[in-house]
Each structure stands twice: as C-alpha cells, then as structure tokens.
Chain A
Amino acid sequence: MKYSQFKAMMAIAKASFRSITRSPSAVVFTLVFPLIFITVFGFLKGGNVSLNVALAAHSDQQNSVYMGLISNPAFSVHHDMDSVEQHSLLLKGKLDAIIDIQKVQLDSLSTYDINLYTTMASAEKGIIVRSMLEHLIDKSNLLAAKIISPMATLKQQELKGRTYSTIDFILPGQLGFSLLSTGVFGTAFVFFNLRQTLVIKRFFATPIRKPFIVMGEALARMVFALLGAAFLITLGHYAFGFTLINGLSTFAEMLFLSAMGLVVFMGFGFVVSGIAKSESTIPPLANIITLPQFLLSGTFFGVENFPTWLQPICKMLPLTYLNDAMRKVAFEGASLLDLGPQLAVIALWGVIIYAIAVKVFRWE
C-alpha cells in the first residue's frame, strides 16, 4: 500500500481541530469576544433624531407655533422645570434648546415674540431646532398673511433606501478581528508549543513530510475559524438583523473573504512563532500585530474618523481592507469581482508575510 501524505495530513487536522475546540483561549478569542461586542452593539438603538427642548415659564401656549412644536414627534417638550434648572441643563447639553414664546397684544392684533436659546454644548441639535422652528414660524406667518399659494413650495421625495444599522458596521469588524486574533495568537502559540514540547519532532519520526504538517494544522484552524464566522454571521442575521443583501451567496462570499483573511493572518502567526524566544514573548509580539489593527482598521469606527496623519497607517493595514471588503459584500451587495483593490492589498500582504515566515520559521 502506498503511503498517503493526505491521510496523514487529515490525521493531524483532526487532532488539531479536537485540540482547538478544547482550548479555552481559542474559543474565547474566536467566539466569546466577538459575540459580546456584537450583542452589545446589536442592542444599541440607532436612528431617529430626538430633540429635547424646554418651554420657558409663562410662555404662551395658545398659538400655532407651539401647536406645531408639540405635534412634531422629533421634539420632546418639557414644561416641568423652572428657568434655573432649564439653564443649567442647557449648559450641560442635556437640553438642546429653550423656547420662549411671548404674546404681544397690539390693539386687536396678536403677535408673538419667540426667543430661542441654544448652546455650544449641543450645537448640531441647536441648528436643527432652529431650522424646524423657523419652518413653523414661516407657516404661521403665511397663514396670518392669508397667502394661500406661496411663491415656492418644497416637495421632497424620499427614496426608500436600506437601513444601515449599527450591526451592519460592527459585525464585519468583529468578524475580521476574530479572524485576526485566531490567526495570529492561535498559530503562534500552537507552533511554538509543538516545537518546544517536541511534538513536531515526534511527527518527523513518522513518514509525514513537513509541508503536510503545516497544512494539517492550518486546515484545522481554518475549519474552526470558518465555523465561528458562520456562527457569528448567522446569529447576527437572525438575532440582530445583520444585512445579507443577497442572502446565501453573500454568506458564502463573506466566508470566502474570511478564509482569505485567515490565511494572511496565520502568516503573521508563523512569523511570531519563529521569532519568539520564549512563550512569554508571544503575547507582546502578537499584540503588536493585532492591537493597532483592532483600533485603526475600522473595527469599531470608520477609518475616515481618524485624523489625516493617521489615515495613511490605517490604509496600510490588511484588516482595514478585509473589513471594508466584508462591509461592501454584505451591505452593498458588491461581488468579489468588484473588490479587486481590497483583495489585491490583502493578497500582497499575504505574499510579504509568507516571504518573511519562510525565512524565520523554525522547526526545532
């Protein structure tokens, strides 16, 4: 019977997979951490503007501006505060504006002075309050002037778009980071330990060839990470409404991207296992690789939020491109062909890191 390297490789893959599933750190990094983040952000409510305004004491409440104010769901109008409290809350930004409506009686004609107080502490919402208030006043003025056909009217048509919720941003980022930590930490520790404890040397005494040992290990990690990815995507989709724009084919494309990312990240792990002098130097080395990407690759917030001087660094990291590609696939329905630039950068990283890995990797 001819000796089959493939059979031997599968034996290692099976053993390694069993070992990974029983290793607490692998399970925590791949599943528990991302799960916690996804759950936390999945429950965060995004969406509608809510404006907190207070009505100043002794304000007139029998006018069309006030009526418009309270009938608009965007406003929550507070009446139950004195002016001292109102001002203190306004300065802290807990109130977005104070509105004071005073009736001025000129003979038989009633007019209104409307004072708006806004704050730097809530500048953006102050502007929204102002423009909405102006709109209410304009409407009342037109009505008072008995203008039925105004010179210009605005007609807005809102096109129904897809709602981009927090989970659509967070899940791909968490998935990417989970792949990064599994790839780097898992691979680095496993190969370092197998070398230290002579497990690999014992393998050498059997007929399996070296590349098949590495492939068996990599295969196990790949299967484990992809099962984790599939679980996270499925949970995100059904529990938190994560958008899979083309359903199953999007799911498959995300798994393909996961696999590609993991291969590159395992390369970092091989490098770390090769250059680490002792087991205790692995975590710092691995963190040097993972932490900057965790922060700068758009895992929690978009890369565009970083200052300009940081952007070039963000745009060098492989995880940035993986996250970007994942989001484009999942939400915009981009096909893998549309992702040429992202895939090219990830592949380039793969070539670079494996060139280094081949140089520094040690068997004994």
Chain B
Amino acid sequence: MLYFCNVQTKPIITVKDLHKHYGDFHAVQGISFEVYNGEIFGLLGPNGAGKTTTLEIIETLREKSSGEVMVDGLNIDSKANDIKQIIGVQLQAAGYYPNLSLTELLELFAGLYNMPIDSLEMLSRVGLVDKAKAKFKELSGGQKQRFSIATTLINKPKIIFLDEPTTGLDPQARRNLWDLIREVKAMGTTVVITTHYMDEAEQLCNRVAVMEGGKVIALDTPDALIDKLVASGFERKKEVKKANLEDVFLSLTGQEWRDE
C-alpha cells in the first residue's frame, strides 16, 4: 500500500504487560504491543474491549495498575509531563470551553502548550477558516472532529491519539477526516486511532491491534490479517461486487468538503 514507504519499524510507543483494574473489573489484562514511528496504528474491538482505557493510560490521563509504557523513550511513570508536551490528544466526545470562538479556543490551547500559533493557518489546515468566529457547539459533527484534531496539532506533536473520531459522522465527513488524518501522517506524525469501522481501519491503518475482553487477540497489517484468514480456508458467503452501497451514496451525493 501507498503508506508503507515512510514507515520505519522503530517503536515510538512500547506497551509491556499492561494491566488495569477498576475494582473487581479487570479491564486491561496484560497487553503488550509496539507502535512504530510514523505509522497509523489502529486499536480495534467492540465496546468495552479496553481500547479507550489503554489509550488513556498511554496519554497519561489514567493510572495503570501494572506494566510498563514508554512513549518516545519516556516512561509514563516518571515523565508524564514531558510526554504531554510531545503528544496530541483527541478525546471521545470532548467539549470545549463555552462561549469562545474557534480562534479563541486555539489561542487557549496555544497558551496551554506554550506554543505560538497562527490560528487561521491552523483552521485552514482542517478546512474551518470560514468558521473562525463560530462557537464549537455551532459546528456539525464532522467539523467538531476536525476542530478537535486541530487542537491536537498545536504543539507539533510526535504522536496524536484519536479516540473514535469518525463515530456518528456521515460518509462524506468520514472521508474528509480520513484525508485529514493521512495529511497529518504525511507530515511525519504517528497516529494512534480507535475505531469500530473495519473499512476505516483497512483504508487508513498501517497496522492494527484487535482487542477483545481486555486482551490483544491479533496484531498485524490489515493485509496480513486478511491473508491469514483467507489462508485458513475462509470464504465470503457472497461474491463481492466491484462497488458497494457506500460507493453509490458517495457518487450520488459527492465527496467534496462541505458544511454538513
């Protein structure tokens, strides 16, 4: 695939035997994986599989129960604040400060990261220049997610974390977001993303880890995982057509950026 060319196999995130307990509930049960520098890494799995918990532990937002996590050579136990300076975090369903325009919100985050910012340039990167004076709550679902991603880019992070960024978006908005994520990756930023959509993971991710019940049950490139399944004798029940209904929908309604 196109995106493999600039991926190095040098790990930027290393997770070793990570556990998380919430009282009696063993949410993350000893998982280990590496995220390579410059790749788009997908964490897949059903709700409650432990994706968000794992992500938030790496983001230093949540205490782990045991295990070791290194981010760009920094240990999350001792260097949490240094890690925060080199990562960008997009939370599932995060809100933003009320009554402020997008420009003012970006200025706020610029201050929080101690980074100078050209708000309009940043908004143009995510296609929201004409919304500069709008409030966050006035944006559509796709615009909100694009803005969230803009706030993760302010500190020119080495890694950004996106937690279900496309959930609830319509097909156009989803494709727009994929383009944006690919652009971020093309700048050399590592992307860690969780999603429920397998087509999204297949399109976007260099490698994926599949989680279930707090464990990583598979980890490889989407291609390799598919090949493995096919090699095991799996066959689709129905011959796949050259296009699917989503392709029909997109060709009918257009795929250009628009105000959803």
Which residues does A use to contact B, with CB under 8 Å? Answer: 1, 3-4, 7-8, 10-12, 14-16, 18-19, 22-23, 193-194, 197-199, 201-209
Contacts and interface: CB of A to CB of B under 8 A. Distances in A.
A218 to B, nearest CB: 15
A11 B96 contact: no
A1 B91 contact: no
Contacts of B104: 15, 18
Given A198-B93, A198-B94, A199-B94, A205 B111 contact: no
A3 B111 contact: no
Given A8-B114, A15-B104, A201-B61, A206 B97 contact: no
Given A1-B114, A201-B91, 14 more contacts: A4-B114, A7-B111, A8-B112, A8-B114, A11-B109, A14-B107, A15-B105, A19-B98, A19-B99, A22-B99, A197-B94, A198-B94, A205-B60, A209-B81
Nearest to A26: B99
Nearest to A198: B94
A3 B97 contact: no
Contacts of A206: 84, 109, 112-113, 155
A198 B91 contact: yes
Contacts of B109: 11, 206
Interface in B87-134: 87, 89, 91, 93-100, 104-105, 107-114
B112 A208 contact: yes
B116 to A, nearest CB: 11
Interface residues of B, number: 29
A252 B81 CA distance: 40
A12 B112 contact: yes
A138 B180 CA distance: 101
A203 B114 CA distance: 13
B65 interface: no
A205 B114 contact: no
A199 B114 contact: no
A9 to B, nearest CB: 9
Contacts, number: 87
A193 B95 CA distance: 10
B100 A19 contact: yes
B87 to A, nearest CB: 8
B61 A23 contact: no
A207 B87 CA distance: 10
A186 to B, nearest CB: 13
Given A11-B108, A205-B61, A207-B84, A19 B97 contact: yes
Contacts of B113: 8, 206-207
A193 B111 contact: no
Contacts of B164: none
- Most chain A C-beta atoms within 10 Å of own C-beta, residue among B85, B96, B105, B114: B114
Nearest to A11: B111
Contacts of A204: 61
- Most chain B C-beta atoms within 10 Å of own C-beta, residue among A7, A23, A206: A206
A199 B61 contact: no
Given A15-B97, A198-B91, A199-B95, A207 B81 contact: yes
A201 B94 contact: yes
A329 B230 CA distance: 86
B154 to A, nearest CB: 9
Contact of A202 (B60, B81, B89): B89
28 contacts: A3-B81, A3-B85, A7-B114, A8-B112, A8-B114, A11-B107, A11-B112, A12-B111, A12-B112, A14-B108, A15-B100, A15-B108, A16-B97, A18-B99, A19-B97, A19-B98, A23-B98, A197-B94, A197-B95, A198-B95, A202-B95, A202-B151, A204-B61, A205-B59, A205-B61, A206-B109, A206-B113, A207-B81
Which 3 A/B pairs are nearest by Cβ-Cβ distance? A11-B111, A197-B95, A205-B89
Nearest to A208: B112
Contacts of A18: 99-100, 104
A197 B148 CA distance: 14
B97 A207 contact: no
B27 to A, nearest CB: 16
